[in-house]
Structure 1
Amino acid sequence: MPDAAAFRADLDAATVGWAFLSMSWFLPRALLASPTTAPGPPAPTHQATILHRLDQARHSSATPALAELSGRLHDTLTARWGSVPLPYAPAFDPGS
């Protein structure tokens, strides 16, 4: 049986890694764009995605320095963009 604590530590590290990796892809465009969605299927904005992932990463205990950096980046970008919520996927939206 897998060790739950080890799994949680790995999951925390992966969450932080994914937040920074995906932010590197989305941030250049997110800094230029307004938080509106493009035509086509519903999709979250780059701003909402970045803020959500940084907020998740800020709570990591596996990498305290990166968690602290995630929190500072989240706060700085929230000051720039305001609160940009990440909506539920349409299939999981309780309002639908």
Structure 2
Amino acid sequence: MITVMNRIFVNPEFADQFEERFRNRAGMVDSMPGFIRNEVLRPTREGDPFIVLTYWDNMGAFKAWTESDAFKQGHARSGSLPREAFSGPNVLEVHEVVGQGEQ
């Protein structure tokens, strides 16, 4: 299993709009082969990024998502926020899960 973490720096005055965008997301990723789940994490300290965290069976499944028409359609909605909503470039990180705790 892998995680893909997208750290997105959002100016505080646009935080509510950013969160609303995810509450009303297209959901196209949900039916992609190999997709497990996603989480949107709100920062607790000013200046820290939001984190969009997705879980995938493997890197091939994630790569297939990024090359799909559904990915292009889902991300076309990102135009709903103006450029000034973001305080810096996003940072994408991919990690392999090597252990899980009990729930």
- What is the TM-score normalised by the length of structure 1? 0.30
User: Higher relative contact order by CA 8 Å / sep ≥ 6: 1 or 2?
Assistant: 2
Structure having the higher strand fraction is 2
Larger radius of gyration: 1
- What is the TM-score normalised by the length of structure 2? 0.28
Structure having the higher helix fraction is 1
